[in-house]
Amino acid sequence: MEKILKISELLNKDYIIDIRSDNKEGALKELLDVICKNERITDCKTFSREIFNREKLMSTGIGYGIAIPHARHKTVKDFVIALGRKKEGLEYESIDDKPVKLIFMIGASDKQDKDYIRVLSRLMLRLKNPDFVKKLLKNLSMLSTRLLFLF
């Protein structure tokens, strides 16, 4: 029987921040500073390079004000997720050319193929709900309490 991966179990409130930077690179660096505090990432420099390489390949701005930068690498022991919010949005080269307001950064082991796809799919499915996204944008601290169970 397959384990059901819940975003709420992967996203710790200590990895949820308001983004200060006004550009994509700065926002990614802020989230990397947060996510790399997790002991599951054994080499932050390499993981950071993987995140930026993935972004060069194609923007992870999926539209609707959301980006999901992600990387699988052997320097990551297990899933780790960070979330950043920029209420006023920032340019991110999204597929819909709209500013990004929520950035979910995901790290996973290079051995977590199927689970990695499941986590990305679950997250994207959940973020298709505009009411849920509005709640996140309105009060990010709610995510770590009442809203987190919805993931």
Backbone angles phi, psi at 31, to 5 degrees: -70, -35
Q: Are 11 and 81 in contact (CB under 8 A)?
A: yes
Q: How many CB atoms lie within 10 A of CB 73?
A: 19
Catalytic residue positions, numbered: 70
Residue type, 138: K
**Residues in the chain, total:** 151
Please give the structure tokens belonging to residue 133: 């996204």
